[in-house]
Homo-oligomer: A and B are copies of this chain.
Amino acid sequence: MTTQQESTQEKSLTTRQVANRFFELAEQGHFNQITTELFSQEARSIEPEQAPFNSVDGLEQIVQKAKEWQDITEETHDVYCTEPIVSGNFFACTMGMDVTVQNQGRIKLDEIAIYEVKDGKIVTEQFFY
- Which residues of A come within 8 Å of B, CB atoms? 82, 85-96, 110-112, 114, 116, 128-129
Contact = CB atoms under 8 A, between A and B. Distances in A.
A128 B89 CA distance: 9
Contacts of A87: 94-96, 110-112, 128-129
A112 B85 contact: yes
A94 B88 CA distance: 10
Contacts of A116: 128
A88 B114 contact: no
**Residue of A88, A95, A116 contacting most chain B CB atoms (<10 Å):** A88
B90 A86 contact: no
Contacts of A89: 129
Given A85-B85, A85-B94, A87-B110, 19 more contacts: A85-B93, A85-B112, A86-B94, A87-B94, A87-B95, A87-B111, A87-B128, A87-B129, A88-B110, A88-B112, A90-B111, A90-B129, A91-B112, A92-B112, A92-B114, A92-B128, A112-B114, A114-B128, A116-B128
